[in-house]
């Protein structure tokens, strides 16, 4: 079975541009979470979606938004890119929400570079 997949693998953008990152969860998983991992740091929680509804939001500006589709895949959008948005963006999927005994499975990430 395929794990969590993310696209694209790498992306280079310039300041002020917009970017869309995509994530496909493991089949049967209904929850998707997004994390930002700046080089040398631990991942920081951005959003969680479950059954197409936002269930959690981290301390990120409104330039960051996300959505989940009926097939449970998800997009993360970032507007007006800043140099500080350069990071590895990780997607994680799990069966459900609210019970952390449900293991979260992480994708390989999308490396975003903002020039």
What is the contact surface with another protein in residues (CB under 8 A)?
A: 4, 31, 33, 35, 40-45, 48, 50, 55-56, 58, 90, 92, 94, 97-98, 100-109
- Least spacing, CB of residue 104 vs another protein, in Å: 6
Identify which of residues 65 and 104 has a Cβ nearer to another protein in the complex. Answer: 104
- Least spacing, CB of residue 81 vs another protein, in Å: 23
Identify which of residues 34 and 81 has a Cβ nearer to another protein in the complex. Answer: 34
Q: How, if at all, do strands 19-24 and 31-37 pair?
A: unpaired
Which residues lie below 8 Å from residue 14, measured CB to CB, with a gap of 6+? 81, 114, 115
Identify which of residues 81 and 112 has a Cβ nearer to another protein in the complex. Answer: 112
Identify which of residues 58 and 64 has a Cβ nearer to another protein in the complex. Answer: 58
Go through 40-75 and write b for each residue having 16 or more CB atoms within 10 A of its CB, e for each that does not. eeebeebbbbbeeeeeeeeebeeebebebeeebbbb
- Least spacing, CB of residue 60 vs another protein, in Å: 13
Q: How, if at all, do strands 31-37 and 5-7 pair?
A: unpaired
CA angle 32, 35, 38 (to 5 degrees): 160
- Least spacing, CB of residue 17 vs another protein, in Å: 25
């Amino acid at each position: 079975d395929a794990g969590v997949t993310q696209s694209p693998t790498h992306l280079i953008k310039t300041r002020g541009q917009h970017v869309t990152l995509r994530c496909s969860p493991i089949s049967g998983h209904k929850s998707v979470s997004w994390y930002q991992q700046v080089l040398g740091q631990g991942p920081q929680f951005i959003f969680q979606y479950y059954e197409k509804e936002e269930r959690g939001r981290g301390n990120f500006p409104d330039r960051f938004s996300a959505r989940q589709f009926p097939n449970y895949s998800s997009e993360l959008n970032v507007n007006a890119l800043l140099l500080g948005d350069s990071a590895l963006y990780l997607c994680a999927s799990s069966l459900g929400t609210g019970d952390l005994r449900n293991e979260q499975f992480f994708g390989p990430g999308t490396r975003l570079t903002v020039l």
